[in-house]
Structure 1
Amino acid sequence: MIDVYSWPTPNGHKVHIMLEECGQRLGRDWQVHPIDIGAGDQFQADFLRISPNNKIPALVDPHGPDGRPISLFESGAILLYLAAKFGKFLPKSDRQKFEVLQWLMFQMGGVGPLLGQAHHFRVYAPEKIDYAVQRYTKEAQRLYGVMNRRLEASPYLGGRSYSVADIAVFPWLRSWQNQGIAWADYPALKAWFDRIGARPAVQRAVQVLADARKPLTDDRAKAALFGAQQYARR
């Protein structure tokens, strides 16, 4: 059984979705170990051994590529590992594969970090800095525009088929309101978002640990995520 160390965040949801889409069912083929990032679980020694960057998700597969256990951190790497393991959601031909991978990298390098900053400065920052709010809100809107234009011409981000690119991006757009987005400005992207959200595997996956998540309002949680505890030398 695959062990997933996770929390109900966009990066956690990526892996939950991928496993369910690959036909792996929670409790039968994989199990989740909650890492409460507001309580500081990500700094525990056992977790740092498999995720040295103290970020979720991480995965341990007892049946790795050579038959031995393998542990992985970084959600994009985990998606590619699972795509190779199960032979799904990453095309075989070089041309189609790299078309998908460019959009996966677009999520890893742009959508995740910059939408995360928009969310932070609009919702969690202890003081409202207009420059930061405007900068990251406009960048969020720009990225939504890039994806909208792509989906005006293609049914999926990576091309004609559903892929790891769609799985990686979808969870990040679920907090669109906190990113300063009006869906009416991005009709093709909204149609894609609704289509992905209607998939049964996606619906199952976004419920994983959903009941455990708490609002990040107390000082302890903020210190773990944004303050001294996050930046302590280890």
Structure 2
Amino acid sequence: MVVDDFGGERLDPGLWVDHYLPQWTTSERSVARYDLTGAGLRLRIDADQLDWRPEDAPLRVSNLQTATFSGPLGSERGTHRHRTDGLVVRTAVTERLLWAPASGRVDVTVTASTDPGCMLAVWLVGTEHLDARDSGEVCVFEIDAEAVGERTTTARVGVKAHHDPRLVTDMTEVVVPVGRGEQHTWTAAWDEDGVRVACGGQLVYSSTQRLLYPLQLMVDLFETALPGPASNYPKSALVHRVALS
């Protein structure tokens, strides 16, 4: 098992890439904004941060991921071809599989953002470096800031097929007993038996669909709306601990 509580002076370069899908954009647009604090990793969206791609504005993101892969410049090969509007490689990246097993388990402890227009997400995404069909995703959770209440939080969880014809997209919403400002731990496992997702040790989703190919971990903070006149920056979320096995 690999455990990171982000207690060092810098990110572990043997585990994390601090860019969001850098192959589809440019380095200055994909690089994460973050702080290492006594409470863990604080992902930030700053007022001067660029949109991830100009075509996708408004969409700003600070992300950590555990692998990179792309084809050559101008090609359509690369991890997480999640859009259908002509993603092409703008920055060729080295194949790096820091953590990308074909079965495994992750535990991620977070405090979700409550900043308007933000979403905190954790995904396990097919790297596609062996086969372009290996593109499925385990959505461990997606939490919109507006879905965080005083006592409960609504999250999206499930499986996304993307370009894998062997899978069927199966997403659902769950309500978990986690209030504003509270830490909570999400667990996801995938293997021959399928996919299981839990929050606080309680199973919230299961599927018999099998994603038996390398998946990389992605931890993302997005801002997906134009800032309002009273928006305060930085917007942020906390990642307290990640355990990988």
Which structure's residues are more often strand, by fraction?
2
Under a length normalisation based on structure 2, what TM-score does the superposition of the two structures give?
0.29
Greater share of helix: 1
